Chains A and B, each alone.
Chain A
């Protein structure tokens, strides 16, 4: 299923394509988000889910539909009458008494014949005792309301091995829920950042400067004049300004106003939108193009230390190292230019010409960038292009272990102050989980829950009123897995799983806490 690749734009636009094949049509609405590369990653993924309760099957539904490669459900439970009532991937009374995992796998697979699914009815504990490595054979593991003792074991196991898969931990009770991703390191090239790369109008490359200066407004007819792209207008205006201001750009507010006025003065009539665009974009002249601070920070990443770098086989860090050198050694010490040009008022010829100037320069800088790449590593040309195109939005995330948040007193008291409701929900869910170990089978009282919360945060800690509300809800319906809560978690967790698997978009950094009474979410830690 992995092999149908969408063509790259270059080929696609030089030869006429035939109508897309069945698979591309089926996945069309999602390929527009994560493209063929994201789809290929999904199709290579192997997901392990540690239950087949309503929340687990809701999550899986949203992963089977977009076409993950494989999933395994590990669940030794039999379908209870209550399960049959709240889980869409069981067939009501017909499923009662059967293996829950087998029923769920069968019904999940009906949705997409491109996906493999396995029901594993062994017990979690037996695998943990005899076949630990099995867990690491997956791309991603997801648990919902996993017994705390087992969760601790699993989280320990996965955090002790840096190549072990990420674990998404989901907990819920009635209207309240939370989830957290435990992982080691996560690098993102395609963050789909909403900021555009710099056009470098303040530091024009030679061909751009030369062309802008060659323009003579007086010799232009009205059509040419009204269709001169704002990039040229600004570059030209800026050169003029610098000449009469000792080489400096407009600095003070007054100077900037004057600069803008000068641009508008070039307008022959008020219909010339290109000069209005130039005025509106004038900030690009004084907003200096530099390496964005988030990217500069990545250059200090420990993975770039010479020793670490040699060991690390991840292409991402090879590319990052080359990027660092590029910004250090190549004038004007910015990220490599990209050929992405925004739309602007222009006629065809001038726009295409400008586009080609940018493209040619981007190619030149790419060639220089490539000379900085470690010769011993073989990196796909497509990956290099993608990396350079998205260089302004690169991210390196370093995860934390499950449970570290509570131990970090500063972070924790900060969260308690800024997100009292959500922090209390998180605490109450932890208390509920702890009670299932201490008093299995006993309905938790508000008092017991409060006691557990205090055991976590330390006696004497002052807790907001929101705690009573959270505890009250859990006491009301401690074991309720509401279909709507399950479905909502199914969506949110699947979104995060897709981001982790495709390495596109940015996954959550911390705990997502959800309150379905007020219908709010917040991120803690």
Chain B
């Protein structure tokens, strides 16, 4: 948004008198716990309403809530990414969707709803995967809020935002606020890439997904779940060949349920139901509007405080358990020392333009402050030289004689692994 649109108190033509009467009370005056850098009044209002650009990843249970909260607090340039379409089972909590929207893309329907309901807010949807977008795309935002149910997508965005941090450009630091819920429980956290603990640092806090030994499934089932896994893991591919199981297709679920049901009967196992079948094969996580509301609000509150500096922000993990009273725990999750994402650091080195891979490797082995034994090297796209296994060693051996500059562009990255390194070392190569 251009500065010319700015009016007194960061209001724009769509704003009405007193629109932000509530929010402005905390933007016009600091509180006892407000950081001295807080620029009370017009400057912070303008930043929030005219300049700040925020990305919401996920337009589902958390995403719907996040979008509504951000719009009401005064963020006006909001982008949202989601690759899913609306299912009837979303309607118990994803309140921007109606039965008539079933089948439509979540991001698009959610964006339209918010723009209709909250005048002057622009929500730009993208119906697709976060992996479709590159660094340049993510660089345009000031903040990222994630309401995802996928570990994989979270790891990806976390690694992307960590890798974007550039010490010469403070604005390359994109705070990542992440939320998640399950039933009456949830968590919200603030990740300042490279400064605080990141998503990868805390991977071991995740519960392991339940899996059963395949031989139990095949031969000695005891639980209804074993019968369901038998149907989905063993029988489906046997009967349907290459046709992929679509866990969103009720007919597929019905087929699995029928097969699992028969097997359960055969083994005198009780408890195979349609709902359990769906729960097991889709790995359904119970979800309710109220828990999503708490976690989304906690995330948006952090986004608001970080964007405005109007109050201290969460450092850095908030966990809620609502099954027995209201129990929560706020703590600082510590960085993991050898975190593969934020723990390793890239080393910038300059080498002669004519150096071969072998010369580079010698330098890595001999240089006092590196001293890596038997290094293996790769670019993000392919191996340069691998010590093992034999086929790859043989395959990459010819590269030893090649010039590094023929394989890696200036400023390019080389990943080095070795038994003597705790995890890996990243080199940024420049040429002299």
Assess the B273–A17 pair: CB atoms within 8 A.
Answer: yes
Q: Which residue of B lies closest to A90 (CB)?
A: B117
B253 within 8 Å of A (CB atoms): yes
Q: Are A227 and B279 in contact (CB under 8 A)?
A: no
CB distance from B312 to the nearest CB of A (A): 5
Residues in B neighbouring A483, C-beta threshold 8 A = 22-23, 69, 72-73, 300
**Residue of A22, A27, A352, A517 with most chain B CB atoms under a 10 A cut-off:** A517
Given contacts A13-B270, A85-B21, A472-B32, A19 and B293 within 8 Å (CB-CB): no
| Complex: A35 Cα to B132 Cα, angstroms | 39
> What bracket does the count of chain A residues touching chain B fall in?
35 or more
Q: In the complex, what's the smallest C-beta–C-beta distance from B387 to chain A, in angstroms?
A: 34
B289 touches which of A22, A62, A87, A476 (Cβ 8 Å): A62
Q: Does A221 contact B (CB under 8 A)?
A: no
Taking CB atoms and an 8 Å cut-off, the chain A residues in 94-112 that contact chain B are 96, 110-112
Pick the residue among A348, A476, A495, A506 that contacts B290 (CB under 8 A).
A495
8 Å CB interface, B174-216 against A: 183-184, 188
Which residues from A are CB-within-8-Å of B294? 488, 491-492, 495
Chain A's nearest CB lies how many Å from the CB of B10?
Answer: 13
A507 at the interface (CB under 8 A from B): yes
Flag whether A26 is at the interface (Cβ < 8 A): yes
Residue contact A469 to B33, C-beta cutoff 8 Å:
yes
A33 and B286 contacting across the interface, CB-CB below 8 Å: yes
B275 at the interface (CB under 8 A from A): yes
User: Which residue in A62, A85, A482 is a CB contact (below 8 Å) of B293?
Assistant: A62
Q: Are A484 and B32 in contact (CB under 8 A)?
A: no
Residues from 24 to 50 in B contacting A, C-beta threshold 8 Å: 25-26, 29-33
The interface bits of chain A over 356-381 (1 if a CB of B lies within 8 angstroms of the residue's CB, else 0) are 00000000000000000000000000
Contact A81 B18 (CB under 8 A): yes
Q: A517 — nearest CB in chain B belongs to which residue?
A: B311
Contact partner of A492 (CB less than 8 A), chosen from B33, B253, B290, is B290
Interface hits, A105-162 → B, CB 8 Å: 110-112
Contact B33 A29 (CB under 8 A): no
State which of B270, B279, B325 has its C-beta within 8 Å of the C-beta of A508.
B325
Cβ < 8 Å to B, chain A residues 25-60: 25-33, 54, 58
1/0 per residue, CB under 8 A from A, across B306-346: the answer is 00000111100010101111111010000000000000000
Smallest CB separation, B87 vs chain A (Å): 8
Residues of A within 8 A of B91 (CB): 26, 65, 112
The answer to whether A519 and B254 have CB atoms under 8 Å apart is no
User: What separation, in Å, do the CA atoms of A32 and B282 have in the docked complex?
Assistant: 14
Please indicate the chain B residues that have their CB under 8 angstroms from the CB of A523 in the complex. 325-327
Q: Which residue of A lies closest to B312 (CB)?
A: A517
Nearest chain B CB to A187's CB is how many angstroms away?
Answer: 16
Q: What mask results when residues 260 to 291 of chain B are scored 1 for a CB within 8 Å of chain A, else 0?
A: 01001001111111110011000011111111
Query: A521 to chain B: which residues have CB within 8 Å?
Result: 320, 326-328
Q: Which residues of B lie under 8 Å from residue A481 when comparing CB positions?
A: 22
Smallest Cβ distance from A227 to chain B, in angstroms? 7
Interface residues on chain B, size class: 35 or more
> With A32-B279, A85-B72 known to touch, is A491 a contact of B302 (CB < 8 Å)?
no
**Bound form: Cα–Cα A65–B89 in Å:** 12
Assess the A487–B23 pair: CB atoms within 8 A: no
B-chain residues with CB within 8 Å of residue A10 when the two chains form the complex? 270
**Contacting residues, chain B, for A33 (C-beta < 8 A):** 183-184, 286, 288
- Collect the chain A residues with CB atoms within 8 Å of residue B327's CB: 521, 523
Q: Which of A93, A191, A506 contacts B119 (CB 8 A)?
A: A93
State whether B275 touches A175 (Cβ < 8 A): no
Closest A residue to B119 by CB, please name it.
Answer: A92
A174 to chain B minimum Cβ distance, whole angstroms, is 6
B16 at the interface (CB under 8 A from A): yes
Q: Nearest Cβ distance between residue B277 and chain A, in whole angstroms? A: 10
Q: Which of chain A's residues has its CB closest to B23's CB? A: A482
The yes or no answer to B127 lying at the interface (CB within 8 A) is no
Q: Is the CB of A505 within 8 A of B184?
A: yes
Given A16-B261, A85-B19, A521-B326; A92-B73 close (CB under 8 Å): no
**In the complex with contacts A30-B287, A482-B22, A487-B300 CB distance below 8 A:** yes
Q: Which 7 A-B pairs have the closest CB atoms?
A: A491-B293, A491-B294, A477-B25, A472-B32, A488-B297, A82-B21, A483-B72
What would 23 A/B residue contacts be, using CB atoms closer than 8 Å? A6-B275, A28-B278, A28-B284, A30-B288, A61-B95, A66-B288, A81-B16, A81-B21, A85-B16, A85-B18, A93-B119, A348-B269, A352-B269, A472-B31, A488-B293, A488-B294, A488-B297, A490-B290, A490-B293, A491-B292, A491-B296, A518-B33, A521-B326
A residues at B contact (CB < 8 Å)? 6, 9-10, 12-13, 16-20, 22, 24-33, 54, 58, 61-62, 65-67, 80-82, 84-88, 91-93, 96, 110-112, 174-175, 191-192, 194, 227, 343, 346-348, 351-352, 468-469, 472-473, 476-488, 490-492, 494-496, 498, 505-509, 512, 516-521, 523
Given contacts A488-B301, A521-B328, A523-B326, 10 further A-B contacts (CB under 8 A): A6-B275, A17-B257, A25-B89, A175-B31, A348-B221, A476-B25, A480-B23, A498-B290, A519-B188, A520-B328
